[in-house]
């Protein structure tokens, strides 16, 4: 995902900051769906929230709520980063 010849100036710094944010958010994306909903489901299912085994809840409800939050967080954060580098549209 990296650049072979890094940009210089504000566009380059902007892009680096964007990539860092993307990696963080994509890790969360992976952890709530593939992690909590699939790989660690059996472990999480021993905990209950209400009538849901936790792993099952992540797989059929929770991951979707986190997905929405991730997109809106990214949208807001990117607006701020773009303003900082004066690259907003």
Partner 1 sequence: MSTQALIYLFVGISFALYIGIAIWTRAGSTKEFYVAGGGVNPIVNGMATAADWMSAASFISMAGLIAFMGYDGSVYLMGWTGGYVMLALLLAPYLRKFGQFTVPDFIGTRYYSKLARTVAVICLIFISFTYIAGQMRGVGIVFSRFLDVDVTLGVIIGMAIVFVYAVLGGMKGITYTQVAQYCVLIFAYLVPAIFISLLITGNPIPQLGLGSEVNDGSGMYVLQKLDESLQMMGFGAYTDGSKSMIDVFCITAALMIGTAGLPHVIVRFFTVPKASDARKSAGWALIFIALLYTTAPAVAAFARINFNETVNNTAYTEAPAWFTNWERNKLIAWVDKNDDGVMQVAKGDAFAGAPEFTGETGPLGQQLLSNEVVADNANEVYVDKDIMVLANPEIANLPGWVIALVAAGGLAAALSTAAGLLLVISTAVSHDLLKSTFKPDISEKSELLAARAAATAAIFVAGWLGIYPPGWVAQVVAFAFGLAAASLFPAIFMGIFSKRMNREGAIAGMIVGLVFTFGYIFYFKLVADPAFNVADNWLFGISPEGIGVVGMILNFIVAIVVAKMTAPPPVEIDHLVESIRVPRGAGEAHAH
Q: Which residues bind partner 1 (CB under 8 A)?
A: 1, 3-5, 7, 11, 14-15, 18, 22, 25-26, 29, 33-34, 37-39, 41, 45, 49-53, 56-57, 59-61, 63-65, 67-68, 70-72, 74-75, 78-79, 82, 87-89
d(CA 31, CA 58): 10
Q: Minimum distance from CB of 42 to partner 1 (Å)? A: 9
d(CA 26, CA 56): 21
Q: Minimum distance from CB of 34 to partner 1 (Å)? A: 6
Q: Minimum distance from CB of 26 to partner 1 (Å)? A: 7
């Amino acid at each position: 995902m990296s650049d072979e010849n890094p940009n210089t100036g504000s566009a380059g710094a902007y892009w680096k900051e964007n990539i860092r944010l993307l990696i963080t958010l994509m890790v969360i994306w992976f952890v709530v769906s593939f992690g909590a909903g699939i790989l660690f489901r059996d472990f999480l299912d021993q905990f209950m929230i209400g009538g849901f085994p936790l792993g099952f809840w992540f797989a059929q409800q929770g991951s979707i709520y986190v997905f929405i939050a991730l997109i809106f967080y990214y949208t807001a954060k990117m607006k701020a980063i773009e303003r900082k580098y004066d690259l907003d549209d």
